[in-house]
């Protein structure tokens, strides 16, 4: 069905994934890897070393995680949900300080005693698209123009007041550039579909041109057309020289987007491979704890 009408009806034997996607969206959809830019990664923009964090029960959620992100590269993090990927995003985004380890970003070094915070992350051109858009990405009762400014309010402050007119104008521009429908900044955030909510969050976090972008579950619960659009934007950021870290529970998404893949299990990085050496079987064995 599309737009309230049945647009395709037939036996399963005659169906293909490409055909179903085209019928659902109304045009051809490119969900595979496509044509890569082929450029070699550039300078290191973020480096984390030996991150360790235990929860309130003493369970290790991050167990000596080290990684680096380079300009012009998408790094995918694969793993069964609950193996430290969420905690890794929180630590790198400045939402949770680890108990051990260090982080280098923008020429600065951070340790647990004085960890990165979200305001500093914003200053250093690090942006974060959270895994749960409803709990962390939007305030659902807010009009979309207010959700479009979350975390970026300082840029709209004038003599102690927020410039609502400019916030609405910027939201309208984000909606236009990222094809958010309907293009009505006054509608509640809850009134938009999951795909359009996700596109607005991505627009907000990339509006200022980040050098490093952290993305959790970029296309969870969104439609095929939005998946294609979001993937295209992430590739464009990479091709523009940003470093992009993508955490996804969908192996197809990791294989379609990443230039390099890290696999996490039990709070540790258990494998690191160029995407040319990856397939679902290889990643699945690593996710299950097999040696690389």
What pLDDT digit, counting tens, does each position of 117-158 carry?
999 999 999 999 999 999 999 999 999 999 999 999 999 999
If asked whether residues 108 and 166 sit together in one domain, one would say no
Q: Does residue 193 fall inside a structural domain?
A: yes
pLDDT at 27: 79
* Higher-pLDDT residue of 196, 40: 196
pTM given for the model: 0.91
pLDDT at 288: 86
pLDDT at 37: 52
If asked whether residues 118 and 61 sit together in one domain, one would say yes
Q: Does residue 97 fall inside a structural domain?
A: yes
Domain closes at, from 158, 174, 208: 208
If asked whether residues 268 and 285 sit together in one domain, one would say yes
Helix/strand/coil percentages in the chain, nearest 5:
35, 25, 40
Query: Which residue range is the domain that position 267 belongs to?
Result: 41-125+209-292
Q: From CA 188, how far away is CA 177, in angstroms rounded? A: 19
Q: What mean pLDDT comes out for the span 34-62? A: 88
Q: From CA 175, how far away is CA 93, in angstroms rounded? A: 25
Helix and strand totals (H; E) in the chain: 9, 12
Question: Can you read off the two tokens belonging to residue 229?
Answer: 């659009």
Mapping DSSP to helix (H, G, I), strand (E, B) and coil, where does residue 56 land?
A: coil
If asked whether residues 244 and 115 sit together in one domain, one would say yes
pLDDT at 251: 95
Q: What mean pLDDT comes out for the span 164-172? A: 97
Domain closes at, from 152, 186, 208: 208
**Residue that the structure tokens 């079987």 belong to:** 281
Q: Does residue 36 fall inside a structural domain?
A: no
Q: From CA 33, how far away is CA 7, in angstroms rounded? A: 27
Quickly state the pLDDT bin for 39 (edges 50, 70, 90).
low
If asked whether residues 272 and 230 sit together in one domain, one would say yes
Q: Does residue 148 fall inside a structural domain?
A: yes
Reply yes or no on whether the pLDDT at 282 is more than 70.
yes
Reply yes or no on whether the pLDDT at 216 is more than 60.
yes
Q: Does residue 174 fall inside a structural domain?
A: yes
Q: Does residue 66 fall inside a structural domain?
A: yes
If asked whether residues 228 and 179 sit together in one domain, one would say no
If asked whether residues 213 and 189 sit together in one domain, one would say no
Q: Does residue 132 fall inside a structural domain?
A: no
Nearest to 121 by CA among 147, 100, 148, 151: 151
Helix ranges (DSSP H) in the chain: 17-25, 85-93, 118-123, 144-147, 164-177, 194-206, 224-239, 251-257, 280-287
């Amino acid at each position: 069905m599309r737009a309230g009408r049945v647009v395709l009806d037939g036996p399963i034997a005659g169906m293909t994934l490409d055909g179903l996607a085209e019928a659902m969206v109304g045009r051809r959809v490119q969900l595979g890897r496509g044509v890569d830019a082929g450029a070699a990664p550039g300078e290191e923009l973020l480096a984390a070393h030996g991150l360790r964090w235990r929860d309130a029960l003493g369970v290790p959620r991050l167990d000596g995680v080290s990684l680096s992100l380079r300009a012009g590269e998408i790094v995918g993090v694969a793993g069964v949900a609950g193996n430290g990927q969420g905690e890794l995003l929180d630590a790198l985004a400045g939402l949770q300080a680890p108990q051990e380890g260090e982080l280098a970003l923008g020429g600065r070094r951070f340790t647990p005693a004085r960890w990165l915070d979200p305001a500093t992350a914003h200053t250093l051109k690090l942006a974060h698209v959270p895994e749960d858009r409803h709990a962390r990405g939007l305030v659902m009762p807010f009009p979309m123009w207010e959700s479009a400014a979350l975390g970026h309010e300082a840029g709209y402050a004038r003599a102690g007041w927020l410039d609502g007119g400019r916030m609405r104008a910027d939201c309208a521009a984000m909606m236009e550039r990222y094809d958010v429908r309907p293009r009505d900044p006054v509608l509640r955030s809850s009134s938009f579909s999951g795909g359009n909510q996700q596109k607005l969050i991505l627009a907000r976090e990339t509006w200022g041109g980040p050098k490093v972008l952290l993305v959790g579950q970029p296309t969870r619960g969104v439609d095929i057309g939005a998946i294609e659009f979001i993937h295209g934007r992430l590739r464009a950021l990479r091709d523009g020289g940003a470093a992009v870290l993508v955490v996804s529970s969908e192996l197809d998404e990791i294989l379609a987007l990443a230039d390099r893949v890290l696999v996490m299990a039990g709070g540790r990085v258990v494998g690191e491979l160029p995407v040319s050496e990856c397939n679902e079987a290889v990643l699945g064995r690593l996710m299950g704890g097999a040696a690389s």
